[in-house]
C-alpha cells in the first residue's frame, strides 16, 4: 500500500509470480468442449424448441391460468385450461416465456386440437425467444470453436518448429 515491495524479504522467492495468460494447450482443452456443448445446445435443443413453438401458431386458442410457476424457458411451467369440455394441465415447452408471472396469472395459450397436452403461450408461438437463444448459443459456440482452432494451429506450429 505504501509503494514498497517485498522483494528481498524472507520467503519472498518461495512463491512464483501468478500466471497472467492461458497457454494454447489450456485454451484448446477449455474452448473445444465448451464450443461443442454450446453448439449442441443450439442445434439439438433450442432450434427444435423454436420449431415446435412455431408449429402451434395455427392451434386452438384458450384462456389459461398459470398452474405451476418455475423456469419457463427451461420447460418447468404448467398451465391449466379447458379443452373439449375437460380441464387440462399441460407443460409449457422449452423456450417459453412468462417465468416472472405468479401462479394463477391469466394467459392465452395455443394447443393442438387432437392433443391438448401440447400447448404453448400465445406470445411464444412465433418461436422468437427460443430462436434468439439458439442464435446466441450458436454464436458463442462459433467463438469458442474459433479459439480452439487458433490454439490448435499455434500448437501445431510450435511442434513443427521444435522438430
Query: Chain centroid to CA 8: how far?
Result: 50
pLDDT at position 11: 56
Torsion of CA 103, 104, 108, 112, to 10 degrees: 70
Helical segments of the chain, H only: 24-40, 47-55, 128-162
Q: Yes or no: say if 89 and 76 are a contact pair by the CB < 8 Å rule.
A: no
Average pLDDT over residues 73-93: 88
Instruction: Name which of 113, 119, 126 is nearest 65 in CA terms.
Output: 119
Instruction: Name which of 57, 162, 149 is nearest 111 in CA terms.
Output: 57
Per residue in 20-51, pLDDT (tens digit) is 677 888 888 899 999 999 999 999 988 888 89
Q: At what angle do helices 47-55 and 128-162 cross, to 10 degrees?
A: 160
Terminal CA-CA length for the chain: 48
Q: How far apart are CA 86 and CA 140, in angstroms?
A: 44
Q: Which strands sit side by side in the sheet containing 86-91, from one edge to the other?
A: 86-91, 78-83, 60-68, 106-111, 119-121
Per residue in 101-122, pLDDT (tens digit) is 788 889 999 999 899 999 998 8
| Sign, CA torsion 84/87/90/92 | positive
Q: Yes or no: say if 85 and 56 are a contact pair by the CB < 8 Å rule.
A: no
Average pLDDT over residues 3-24: 62
Amino acid at each position: 500500500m505504501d509503494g514498497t515491495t517485498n522483494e528481498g524479504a524472507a520467503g519472498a522467492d518461495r512463491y512464483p509470480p501468478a500466471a497472467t495468460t492461458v497457454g494454447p494447450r489450456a485454451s484448446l482443452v477449455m474452448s473445444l468442449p465448451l464450443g461443442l456443448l454450446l453448439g449442441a445446445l443450439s442445434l439439438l435443443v433450442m432450434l427444435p424448441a423454436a420449431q415446435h413453438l412455431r408449429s402451434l401458431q395455427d392451434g386452438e386458442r384458450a384462456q389459461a391460468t398459470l398452474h405451476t410457476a418455475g423456469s419457463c424457458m427451461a420447460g418447468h411451467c404448467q398451465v391449466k385450461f379447458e379443452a373439449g369440455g375437460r380441464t387440462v394441465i399441460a407443460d409449457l415447452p422449452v423456450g417459453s416465456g412468462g417465468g416472472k408471472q405468479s401462479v394463477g396469472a391469466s394467459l392465452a395459450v395455443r394447443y393442438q386440437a387432437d392433443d391438448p397436452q401440447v400447448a404453448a403461450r400465445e406470445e411464444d408461438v412465433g418461436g422468437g425467444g427460443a430462436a434468439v437463444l439458439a442464435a446466441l448459443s450458436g454464436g458463442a459456440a462459433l467463438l469458442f470453436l474459433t479459439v480452439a482452432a487458433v490454439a490448435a494451429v499455434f500448437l501445431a506450429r510450435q511442434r513443427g518448429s521444435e522438430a
